[in-house]
Structure 1
Amino acid sequence: MSKQTYRVCFCCRRRFRLASAEAPAEIKSLFDSYSENGTISVDNLHRFLVEVQKQENATVEDAEAILNSLHEPKHLNIFHRSGLNLEQFFKYLFGDINPPIDPRRRVHHDMHDPLSHYYIYTGHNSYLTGNQLSSDCSDVPIIKALQNGVRVIELDIWPNSTKDDVDVLHGRTLTTPVQLIKCLRSIKEHAFSASEYPVVITLEDHLPQHLQAKVAEMINETFGDTLFVPGSDGLKEFPSPEALKRKVMISTKPPKEYLEAKDLSGEQNEVKEGKQSAEAGPWGREISINKSRTNDEDDLNEEEAHEDDDDDEVDRKSQQIAVPEYKRLIAIHAGKGKGGLDDWLRLDPNKVRRLSLSELELEKAAVTHAKEIISFTQRNLLRVYPKGIRFDSSNYNPLIGWMHGAQMVALNMQGYGRSLWVMRGMFRANGGCGYVRKPDILLKTGNEIFDPKAKLPVKTTLKVTVFMGEGWYYDFRHTHFDTYSPPDFYARVGIAGVPADTLMKKTRTLEDNWIPNWNEHFEFPLTVPELALLRIEVHEYDMSDKDDFGGQTCLPASELREGIRAVPLHNQKGEPYRSVKLLMRFQFI
């Protein structure tokens, strides 16, 4: 495909003015339906909000607020005080005041159920700045995660024999350590900067008992009354997120469980099978900031590919006596225990706990024990973590865990890719507080336990119209497009959800156009709309090379506002662009 190029006078570079003629035909038609004498009055704008935008609770005052927000002094020569003309009606629809998720909608899920009834925004190896083998360990990614709403922070704690102290690092690798106390203090400072709901610290513990006592002292001194400490009998049921507001919880194996034997066969098989599996299945290969990876790294032995619930022989031998002050702080007891999958998933009416499975362990278990997993997660917590050979900090499809009731689907936050886009989309729900209540279908018991593979009837259909996009030209420094050559954009729109609902569709490619007008309609039947996430991507077609990235976002279908909305796009790392957005319409039919 040839590219038509031309020079641009840089002294005249400025934001394109969205003229009336650029409004899509459907927008013009709606304007004609609600306008009189070329103007939409306040009353008619209110009617438009109720009838088209489906804002049933909208008031005349809301319509007046929209009109007044556009009636700045610099616009007095354009506006009629009695209403909006076509150009300004279009400006409202494509403006920042018309997002796809209501910015005023805060926490609205019932937060009084047990913790096990919620998905929790969870990080994996939260202290790493890059890859799993040689990057620095730091409190900086922990701070960033908390500021972004992450509620579960993982710390791997190891002895620093030189200083008789405790470090955080990825053991048996070349990662450089960071002091545990520094991480704890940063968690204390930033724990509730984005959300008041509880923070869980999961510890992968490789310490001798005298350092466990030191960790207990550090935790007590750092968090004080903020720390949630269960009674001596442990928890028979998890408290609710509401009851745990502004509390920090510790989750790890009770020390005495380190004495139990470990079956290494599952992990060895995981490494072997992981080499043969697709990097990210239906998502395509993940993109990672740290892409370096040698063939030798695929041959790391089982010991180097250890994960959360694995303890080496030295660790087990060192745990001869449980440290009471350390054990007392553990609010969420973790561990697989002896035996196989049936034992791991066994329900205990007298206590609750956390089980950790790798992504491959979960995939295998889901084939034969899907209902047992879901039943387990109705009272207990299930944490899913990336397979051991994801050395480049890539990720897996989080929907696999969520559709089986897993609360803590842990992803590497260091890189970027579709899995993280979907994760962020999920936790945009419920006011971005880091807790999303699980669908009722995952909480049914007995014969009604949800089967993710069952063929279910369609509950609703999401109709999506992609009108147009804009903002790439005057945001070119952030999108890296050539200002001399207009891009050939296309959009991809689809659903991430249960297998029956997962689907991606694509618009046509429009050549040489900074403001593409696609005006295309798509329909997505949804059997489990509560787990459906709307994925949106824009790319530039490149015949000779990989298509260039143009923006993305992911939105929970349950939170979408119907009507015509301006959808801001983000870069690959999930950071919002300054100006890039799409004009879209959402309808549930």
Structure 2
Amino acid sequence: CEQVTIIIIIINPGFVLVHFDISPASTDDPDIKQMMAGSTLRKVKSHSWKKHRHFRLLEDGLTIWYKSRWAGRGHSTFSVSDLETVRDGHQSELLLSLSEEFPSDQCFTLVFHGRRGTLDLVADTPEEAKCWVDGLRKLIHKSQTMDCKERLDQWVRDWFTKADKNKDGQMTFKEAKTLLKMMNVEMNEENALHLFTVCNLSLCVLEQHTSASLMSPLLSRDEVWKVFQDFSADGERLLVDELENFLQIEQGEREGRAQELIELYEPSEAARQQMCMSLEGFQLYLCSPHGSIFNPDHEQLHQDMKLPLSHYFISSSHNTYLTGDQLRGQSSTEAYIQALKRGCRCVELDCWDGPDGEPIVYHGHTLTSKILFRDVISTLKEYAFKTSVFPVILSLENHCGLEQQTVMAQHLKKILGEILQTSLINGQVPEQLPSPQDLRGKMLLKGKKLGGLEQRSDETITDEVSDDEDGEMERESVEDLTKDTADSNKQSKLSRELSDLVLYCKSVPFHGFEPARASGKCYEMSSFSESKVKKLTKDGKGSEMVQYNVKQLTRVYPSGMRTDSSNYNPQEMWANGCQLVALNFQTAGLEMDLNDGLFRQNGGCGFVLKPEFMRKTDSEFSPERPESRPGYRPLRLSIQVLSGQQFPKVNQKEGSIVDPLVRVELYGVPKDQSRDETSYINNNGFNPAWNETLNFVVHVPDLALVRFVVEDYDKASRNDFIGQFTLPFTSLQPGYRHVHLLSKDGTPIPHASVFVNVSISELT
């Protein structure tokens, strides 16, 4: 562990010198030692762009610095905490395509959190590559396993490092004032001076375990202290029965939880032995997963996974191969990896005839780049079950001729092997779809099929491609803008080999709810554009769609007019029982926040059980008339927004400080679409306080999502986004809770949170 020594010298009332020294981290480790010495690595961005850069690990043990020999003083840095993993060898499309030029044992790829692109690097020797791969993996593990106090100490060190502009290991009072602005705090000179002389000593030395005390005036939480005082008899500690009282009255916790939380979060050994909790331990508990607004029990698999597939909402991606828009964006196997990492369980493959007899995947009739079908399948095999063990559906949009359809079938069977479900479970034609549990570790092919499961046809049939009624082709697509009408009505033949691989997800045209009720098979499914679903469910007809989706799967996809790969609001589709609500995962925003929020529960496995009233064959639930269903019981949601902690800057200019406000948004059935917000706080993104209460009525709690948004208020233009967190209403924890904010990419913003008090009661 690194040690940080911070010395505060008060020279006179107008000048404070802060000196801090960071000793090297883990310098006994040979890999870390070599990384700190530095290496010249080749950064590879394309077949023609391969340039040497000097990389080294800085003394803080958490920052990677690199520059070109020709860049003068210019350099770049990134934090180890930005890294998700390190892949060694040819585990990126680019390095794989350069395998003849660069040996596998000299290559590695850095994968960042969120939507940031990967970084491909090549070392001069296998030994040097191994050093960086092993060293970075150790540092990533260390970064991911720090406890709350270690993260806080690291946060303090990071700020001091940033504030030391000339990197001389000293910080003048002028730099200290700049530090406050960097931390999103506006403070006059008198208060700033008081802050840095508060310890009232001429010399103060702080070791790592007490370095955070330098920030104690800023980090003090009056609102937490007041809650602590309400339940502490002596105002100094919470005895086990006092903590138990708080947990049951305010937090809605089960009986007997106090002792467990003291052992987990109380930093003082003496207090733990006396079975009590200090104010510091209380604050650590409130900032922990147990004090989060999201129920930590829902981070685990907790729903019944033995029901038919049609009884679940299933995380689904549209145009999964794209990293950008659907006109000129890049197609990449990395996009499939990113979607699968986020819990996606239905990916799309748009397949076309390619050169050399090899099918390709891309957005047809556009300038998007092309990737090989076989490479996509190989990627899916490797990454499909790293995040979730439950089935992955391959949604095939097939534009290939018979010959390359057969090649596709061969690749699927050869590459996937037993992973691909090619036979009926128990050899029986199903009356209802198999369950996620039945299909653990399996892939299902969604596409057209010759005949049904009851019998096999002996001839190759032709299917009429008829606008958006076709069960597989997304006729509301960019191709419609570029192809002749006559071309879209061509007949296409289907390969027997490919047809035989389709079992439980046979694509069929949708001819109406009545025919589906009369003769529809559970394994038959249709695809609908977003506008088609809205048309089918308008005028109070949502109950028919809900009932249809009890037995059969439905896939919904964005309108082809969304050429920028924007998304529609998925909540309207879920409210009508649609399971496979496909979104452009590469496009950040509200819609993906809602998708991430819904599938955050149930262990992030990509399957969420529908409410019971949407799983009954005689269901009469209508999203437009929630009060008409049996058991209707609306709830009142009251959220007291108390304070905010350590919001990031929006404008990186030195003097810019945010004016934050908090908005709470409710999404669900039409009656549950509402929002309310606090006032804004001037010039304080570090520890703003509101103490404002926002109230909502929730008509269908089982379908509602709650989204917390923090914005930087601007009276002259649109507010700037700071962070958000979205979760199911049923995953809300009552009481005093922290909402830990996420970035636009859905990645955590270190230490940024909103402190709230949540109350849920029956509507009287």
Counterpart residue number, 2:122: none
Are residues 1:377 and 2:536 paired?
no
Following superposition, the deviation at residue 350 of structure 1 comes to 4.9
Percent identity, aligned pairs only, is: 29
Task: Quote the Cα distance in structure 2 between the aligned partners of 1:33 and 1:123.
Answer: 48
Residue among 445, 455, 459 paired with 2:634: 459
Task: Quote the Cα distance in structure 2 between the aligned partners of 1:50 and 1:58.
Answer: 9
Task: Quote the Cα distance in structure 1 between the aligned partners of 2:581 and 2:600.
Answer: 16
* Deviation string, structure 1 residues 508-550 (Cα, Å, up to 9, x no partner): 1111112111111122211110111111100111122221111
Following superposition, the deviation at residue 210 of structure 1 comes to 1.7
Counterpart residue number, 1:423: 595
Following superposition, the deviation at residue 325 of structure 1 comes to 2.4
Are residues 1:102 and 2:273 paired?
no
Counterpart residue number, 1:252: 447
Counterpart residue number, 1:71: 268
Which structure's relative contact order is higher, taking Cα pairs within 8 Å and 6+ residues apart? 1
Following superposition, the deviation at residue 312 of structure 1 comes to 3.5
Normalized per residue, which structure has more strand? 2
**Structure-to-structure mapping, 1:405-554, within 5 angstroms:** 405-446=577-618, 448-456=619-627, 457-472=632-647, 475-476=648-649, 479-514=650-685, 515-554=687-726
Counterpart residue number, 2:329: 135
With over 3 angstroms needed to count, the CA separation of the structure-2 counterparts of 1:51 and 1:265, relative to structure 1, is closer
With over 3 angstroms needed to count, the CA separation of the structure-2 counterparts of 1:19 and 1:560, relative to structure 1, is farther
* Deviation string, structure 1 residues 114-161 (Cα, Å, up to 9, x no partner): 00000000000100010011111111010011111111111101110x
Following superposition, the deviation at residue 434 of structure 1 comes to 0.6
Following superposition, the deviation at residue 46 of structure 1 comes to 2.8
Task: Quote the Cα distance in structure 1 between the aligned partners of 2:273 and 2:432.
Answer: 61
Counterpart residue number, 1:348: 519
Following superposition, the deviation at residue 55 of structure 1 comes to 1.4
Gaps of 5+ in 1: 1-5, 275-297
8 A Cα contact 2:265 2:281, kept in partner: no
8 A Cα contact 1:353 1:381, kept in partner: yes
TM-score (norm 2): 0.65
8 A Cα contact 1:24 1:519, kept in partner: no
Residue among 177, 192, 199 paired with 2:385: 192
Counterpart residue number, 2:437: 242
Counterpart residue number, 1:53: 251
SS at match of 2:551: coil
Instruction: Report which stretch shifted further, 182-191 or 577-586.
Output: 577-586
Task: Quote the Cα distance in structure 2 between the aligned partners of 1:536 and 1:587.
Answer: 15
SS at match of 2:245: helix
Counterpart residue number, 2:200: none
* Deviation string, structure 1 residues 192-246 (Cα, Å, up to 9, x no partner): 1111111111000011112121111111111111111243875432100111111
With over 3 angstroms needed to count, the CA separation of the structure-2 counterparts of 1:255 and 1:156, relative to structure 1, is farther
Following superposition, the deviation at residue 80 of structure 1 comes to 9.9
8 A Cα contact 1:31 1:86, kept in partner: no
Task: Quote the Cα distance in structure 1 between the aligned partners of 2:744 and 2:363.
Answer: 26
Counterpart residue number, 2:467: 264
- Match of 2:467, as an amino acid? L
Counterpart residue number, 2:202: none
8 A Cα contact 2:725 2:741, kept in partner: yes
Task: Quote the Cα distance in structure 2 between the aligned partners of 1:49 and 1:483.
Answer: 42
Task: Quote the Cα distance in structure 2 between the aligned partners of 1:343 and 1:157.
Answer: 33
Are residues 1:388 and 2:585 paired?
no
Are residues 1:41 and 2:216 paired?
no
Residue among 283, 306, 310 paired with 1:116: 310
SS at match of 2:725: strand
- Match of 2:336, as an amino acid? I
Are residues 1:204 and 2:407 paired?
no
Task: Quote the Cα distance in structure 1 between the aligned partners of 2:606 and 2:341.
Answer: 11
With over 3 angstroms needed to count, the CA separation of the structure-2 counterparts of 1:331 and 1:8, relative to structure 1, is farther
Counterpart residue number, 1:302: 480
SS at match of 1:238: coil
Task: Quote the Cα distance in structure 2 between the aligned partners of 1:522 and 1:353.
Answer: 45
Counterpart residue number, 1:289: none
With over 3 angstroms needed to count, the CA separation of the structure-2 counterparts of 1:29 and 1:96, relative to structure 1, is closer
With over 3 angstroms needed to count, the CA separation of the structure-2 counterparts of 1:79 and 1:542, relative to structure 1, is farther
Counterpart residue number, 1:571: 743
8 A Cα contact 1:425 1:555, kept in partner: yes
8 A Cα contact 1:153 1:200, kept in partner: yes
SS at match of 1:493: strand
With over 3 angstroms needed to count, the CA separation of the structure-2 counterparts of 1:20 and 1:30, relative to structure 1, is farther
- Match of 1:539, as an amino acid? E
With over 3 angstroms needed to count, the CA separation of the structure-2 counterparts of 1:60 and 1:9, relative to structure 1, is closer
Task: Give the aligned CA root-mean-square deviation in angstroms.
Answer: 3.1
Task: Quote the Cα distance in structure 1 between the aligned partners of 2:487 and 2:263.
Answer: 60
- Match of 2:339, as an amino acid? A
* Deviation string, structure 1 residues 266-307 (Cα, Å, up to 9, x no partner): 89xxx99x9xxxxxxxxxxxxxxxxxxxxxxx9x7735489x
Are residues 1:586 and 2:758 paired?
yes
- Match of 1:463, as an amino acid? S
Following superposition, the deviation at residue 366 of structure 1 comes to 0.5
Task: Quote the Cα distance in structure 2 between the aligned partners of 1:259 and 1:490.
Answer: 59
Gaps of 5+ in 2: 1-173, 184-211, 452-459
Task: Quote the Cα distance in structure 2 between the aligned partners of 1:217 and 1:455.
Answer: 49
Following superposition, the deviation at residue 455 of structure 1 comes to 4.7
Instruction: Report which stretch shifted further, 185-194 or 87-96.
Output: 87-96
With over 3 angstroms needed to count, the CA separation of the structure-2 counterparts of 1:305 and 1:255, relative to structure 1, is farther
Task: Quote the Cα distance in structure 1 between the aligned partners of 2:469 and 2:505.
Answer: 22
TM-score (norm 1): 0.84
Counterpart residue number, 2:341: 147
8 A Cα contact 2:322 2:330, kept in partner: yes
Task: Quote the Cα distance in structure 2 between the aligned partners of 1:225 and 1:265.
Answer: 34
Task: Quote the Cα distance in structure 2 between the aligned partners of 1:56 and 1:37.
Answer: 25
Task: Quote the Cα distance in structure 1 between the aligned partners of 2:547 and 2:445.
Answer: 24
Task: Quote the Cα distance in structure 2 between the aligned partners of 1:67 and 1:35.
Answer: 20
With over 3 angstroms needed to count, the CA separation of the structure-2 counterparts of 1:101 and 1:8, relative to structure 1, is same
Task: Quote the Cα distance in structure 2 between the aligned partners of 1:332 and 1:33.
Answer: 57
Task: Quote the Cα distance in structure 1 between the aligned partners of 2:483 and 2:691.
Answer: 49
Task: Quote the Cα distance in structure 1 between the aligned partners of 2:495 and 2:294.
Answer: 48
SS at match of 1:396: coil
Following superposition, the deviation at residue 29 of structure 1 comes to 4.2
- Match of 2:379, as an amino acid? S
SS at match of 2:394: strand
With over 3 angstroms needed to count, the CA separation of the structure-2 counterparts of 1:132 and 1:21, relative to structure 1, is closer
With over 3 angstroms needed to count, the CA separation of the structure-2 counterparts of 1:492 and 1:406, relative to structure 1, is same
Aligned length: 537
With over 3 angstroms needed to count, the CA separation of the structure-2 counterparts of 1:11 and 1:580, relative to structure 1, is closer
